[in-house]
A and B are shown apart, each in its own frame.
Chain A
């Protein structure tokens, strides 16, 4: 007899596209619940849109630098190794440290800068569609489209040799898979770190026109090499693990809603709203980084002492009927910003303008190239990835 697979922690539990009903019960009931976080430490799970916004907006009472959220049982790294690994990790920093690091990068992610990238992203998308067409139906949309497009974009933007992508993708995918044993994840982190150190050394010796080159040229004397490696690592992981899952999961969501798929395919004006609605409805980042209370706080009517973990349930918050009507229905016509899928507060996703642009280009291009695109396996057999820090699909076989 095979053993039933263990369930991920409550805040990561989903029924395909939807957060499990137990999470909606937290939101509609007390609004907050004591849960086990990923590594077993107790945490508070906040579920309503307004409360999640409040927590995320308040970096002084809800700290990312608390350290508690980053402490993993079984992590065998020395204190010095951990300190080096945390340098430059903006997601584990509070203002003013966070502000200093983030400001090094903001020039590279402005709306104007993204527009300059647009033609190159169109080209990358077209090349991958050409390759799919040449190889012929059927195909797995994840390795042929959803993963390589954001991967190539972030590698080019950052200055990472695209030839290294396979090795890197394999590592990051497993590093963030919470079902992988800790000793293996620590080993992967070390390999990843050594790779980043080599990359930074290369950029310092010969800074290119990419983000790493810019950081070295403009801010090389304001940052340590550890900070450079940390920032590069964060951007590379974020660039690989987010947009690619949105492209895979978003395509499946549209295939399950053919009338809305037709709108995205046929009406260029609909695309901005559709991307926002897919982001809201899918909310692929379950919680982001857990916050640590710096003082006694009250949230959702609950008093929480200092030094406790607080998790924000982003999918549940984005489906709060107090935020949008009929929240469990995917309706691409109503999409608007204001959802929390990119977070909120000072840690609001730095790459959001890039992610939006990639999705706005990729979804309609795919659907126009293959107007008869269809899933090649029954919906029940599509493998969703249950244990990953970022939700998504392992694969999506399609025909056209």
Chain B
């Protein structure tokens, strides 16, 4: 699976970072940074949760 992060849509809510600090970070402006594009195992589950939580629709997953 691959995680896609659209930084133009991001509103900096930070729920992705709260879901997985291994996969996501925020830059100095609070906008999402993808640390791992193709997470595996527990990281993949956490990343999926982040995609479902993302309020602005900035994250999606491609299987």
Contact = CB atoms under 8 A, between A and B. Distances in A.
Q: Do A and B come from one complex?
A: yes
Nearest to B57: A57
Interface in A324-377: 337-338, 343-346, 348-350, 352-353
A372 to B, nearest CB: 34
Contacts, number: 55
A110 B55 contact: no
Interface of chain A: mostly helix, strand, loop or mixed: helix
A352 B54 CA distance: 13
Interface in B1-50: 11-15, 17-19, 26, 28-31
A348 B29 contact: no
A110 B30 contact: yes
Contact of B12 (A109, A337, A344, A345): A109
A346 B12 contact: no
Among A109, A345, A348, A349, the most chain B Cβ lie within 10 Å of the Cβ of: A348
B13 A348 contact: yes
A99 B11 contact: yes
A350 B13 CA distance: 6
Contacts of B18: 111, 337, 353
Interface in B46-63: 52-53, 55-57
Contacts of A343: 55
A102 interface: yes
A280 to B, nearest CB: 14
Given A99-B11, A102-B12, A337-B15, A107 B56 contact: no
A59 to B, nearest CB: 9
Nearest to B31: A106
B55 to A, nearest CB: 3
Interface of chain B: mostly helix, strand, loop or mixed: loop
A130 to B, nearest CB: 31
Among B19, B29, B30, B56, the most chain A Cβ lie within 10 Å of the Cβ of: B30
A338 B53 contact: yes
B21 to A, nearest CB: 8
B57 A102 contact: no
B56 A110 contact: no
Contacts of B52: 338
A112 interface: yes
Contacts of B17: 110-111
Nearest to B14: A111
A348 B30 contact: no
A8 to B, nearest CB: 28
A103 interface: yes
A350 B28 CA distance: 16
A284 B29 CA distance: 29
Contacts of B11: 99, 102, 106, 346, 348
Given A109-B14, A111-B14, A337-B18, A348 B55 contact: yes
Contacts of B12: 102-103, 106, 109-110, 350
A217 to B, nearest CB: 14
24 contacts: A99-B11, A103-B31, A106-B30, A106-B31, A107-B28, A108-B30, A109-B12, A109-B14, A110-B12, A110-B17, A110-B30, A111-B26, A112-B26, A337-B18, A337-B19, A338-B52, A344-B55, A345-B55, A346-B55, A348-B11, A348-B56, A350-B12, A350-B13, A352-B13
Given A111-B26, A352-B13, 15 more contacts: A102-B11, A103-B29, A106-B31, A107-B28, A107-B29, A109-B14, A109-B30, A337-B15, A337-B18, A337-B19, A338-B52, A346-B11, A349-B13, A350-B12, A353-B18
Interface of A: 57, 99, 102-103, 106-113, 337-338, 343-346, 348-350, 352-353
